[in-house]
Structure 1
């Protein structure tokens, strides 16, 4: 027997009311469209070039996990990598893209590569210093005065040798991309010189060089989980923090931080890694395809990163954040005060590596 449930009927709205509802909805949709248009825009994907690469007749699937969100330049680069690899392998390599540390954070992902349970990841170099001490060079302050110098170092002999050195311990390093420059924000005052940092409580990563940097400048560095940072800033547990512009905006730090200084004090790259176990299963032609795709991904991701950087910096200004841009003379003062950091870390990182990077800066 079928039971029919009776529901109370709702009076139908009048035509005038329906037209009003339609008008309101159209207005809302129009405002939404304008908002979307005004939002930060990603540069379009470059056209995929190159012939289809012949493999060994087998199909392969790789999982590529990153820590940043779907709205990041890094994920946009990963989408381009997927497009290149799948198109040029004629679908014989399928790339599954994961964002927001869905399969683990940077160190967990690297461990998964070593175990062979994950095929690719692209961590920041900072958490990998314990595995590769030379990566600490990227934590030194003001080592890369411009993005172009960073590109020159990473794409040249120095960066390529570092990729070879990192192709050990179950990993194959095949390319570089950009995490970017870190900037200082705080809730107390505009910062134009080291003296403005005296006693300022600045949240940092649990990284010995970063702690050394802020301590040397007279601040009070306070290591803290990133997840706790917004609340700590809001409650005044710490006065300031340092991160790239895109992180500052996406985390809404400008809501609790009135002042920012474009210090560009540390430049950090991403390194593209493949599981050695997976790599050794691939025919040489597909290995070369992944190398080429990683290089193209890195070049495009840098473009996206720098485009977003400029857009977001302007958006933060428009939202009322007071942003100080340091003059070359002011930057030189910070560099002079931080000379002891280089003295402390020279032997631990490798003086020859530091000198070679500095030499590249002078020839730019």
Structure 2
């Protein structure tokens, strides 16, 4: 009996060195995200204020999934949608403080920091989304993005929401004169305010996530937004009239805190940049498709009266809004306006 115990102990002692050697050969980074320590993971908190079923919400999820997959779980994009982490008016300050690392605000919301960006808000500044993309990647567009770096921000991508439409609860908007006297919700942009002053409406700068309640209480009577945002927040259920005007562009810059971005390794920056470029192409098509689908759904529900501006009427509106362009030129010069594609190719 004693001899058997000795044999077992001797065999166990022989096995221990082999177990130690095998354990020492485990890879530095396990592929399971849950096994990584805080020091081994790169966590990027991404806050945005729209719904998950919007083009921005869906692109945010796709970006997070691709980064997780391509980094084998080492990089985690934590997405907080619908303003659950920071509200519309809070997220930019949180990014600048470094409390979060990534946001995707509407360009209009950046005009307090870089007023020249309000060229994107000019009525009928762009005839198509392709013109928006062209301008953003042009010398003028890159100069605008460089101005953000002065505020410790870097724009790495542009995501579309689409062109804005007008809804209200007072009367059909078939002519710009029909906007007179209506309290309209707008984003934080002086150019957007000027747009409605021109037609004797009353613009109100209101946080996106409180628009529904403001409409419900009667604090405002109308609003402008893309169809995906109008439907995701159910604005149209509180409105009687919708005008398909395509009068202004709404898009988002993907903004990183510049200090955080520069702290990343070259490999991580390359991975994120390449992935964002891929997601951007996918998101542009998604935004176009979803806006078309949402319009069809609103048409079929017959729950709101719709008016479609003709091309001739759009030209009339554009001409009436010329003083807004003069306002921009007086305050910020004409360089960015002159480089809009619609003027660039005029012979």
TM-score normalized with structure 2 length = 0.80
Deviation at 1:58, TM superposition (A): 5.3
Equivalent-residue separation in structure 2 for 1:103 and 1:234 (angstroms): 24
Q: Deviation string for 1:274-311 (max 9, x for gaps)?
A: 12232222111211221122222222222222111111
Change in Cα spacing, 1:343 to 1:331, as seen in structure 2 (3 Å) is same
Give the structure 1 partner of residue 19 of structure 2: none
Q: In the alignment, does 2:266 pair up with 1:261?
A: no
Q: In the alignment, does 2:194 pair up with 1:212?
A: yes
Q: Is the 8 A contact 1:182 1:243 kept in 2?
A: yes
Q: Deviation string for 1:227-281 (max 9, x for gaps)?
A: 5544554565543221111222233232232221111111022111112232222
Equivalent-residue separation in structure 1 for 2:92 and 2:212 (angstroms): 28
User: Quick one: which of 295, 314, 317 aligns to 2:299?
Assistant: 317
Give the structure 1 partner of residue 3 of structure 2: none
Q: Is the 8 A contact 1:184 1:262 kept in 2?
A: yes
Change in Cα spacing, 1:255 to 1:84, as seen in structure 2 (3 Å) is closer
1:54-73 correspondence to structure 2 within 5 Å: 59-73=41-55
Give the structure 2 partner of residue 287 of structure 1: 269
1:177-216 correspondence to structure 2 within 5 Å: 177-216=159-198
Q: Which runs of 5+ in 2 are unaligned?
A: 1-38
Q: Is the 8 A contact 2:92 2:103 kept in 1?
A: yes
Deviation at 1:324, TM superposition (A): 1.5
Deviation at 1:108, TM superposition (A): 2.7
Equivalent-residue separation in structure 1 for 2:317 and 2:255 (angstroms): 34
Deviation at 1:354, TM superposition (A): 0.9
User: Quick one: which of 292, 302, 307 aligns to 2:289?
Assistant: 307
Deviation at 1:155, TM superposition (A): 3.2
Q: Is the 8 A contact 2:126 2:342 kept in 1?
A: no
Q: In the alignment, does 2:334 pair up with 1:347?
A: no
The SS at the match of 1:151 is helix
Deviation at 1:68, TM superposition (A): 1.2
Task: Report how many residues are paired.
Answer: 307
Deviation at 1:106, TM superposition (A): 4.5
The SS at the match of 1:160 is helix
Report which stretch shifted further, 77-86 or 184-193.
184-193
User: Quick one: which of 294, 298, 321 aligns to 1:338?
Assistant: 321
Give the structure 2 partner of residue 38 of structure 1: none
Change in Cα spacing, 1:237 to 1:96, as seen in structure 2 (3 Å) is closer
Q: How well do the aligned residues superpose, as a CA RMSD in angstroms?
A: 2.4
Deviation at 1:213, TM superposition (A): 0.8
Q: Is the 8 A contact 1:136 1:349 kept in 2?
A: no
Equivalent-residue separation in structure 2 for 1:262 and 1:339 (angstroms): 20
Deviation at 1:107, TM superposition (A): 4.7
Q: In the alignment, does 2:123 pair up with 1:141?
A: yes
Q: Deviation string for 1:182-224 (max 9, x for gaps)?
A: 1111233332222322333333335322221112123333444
Give the structure 2 partner of residue 99 of structure 1: 81
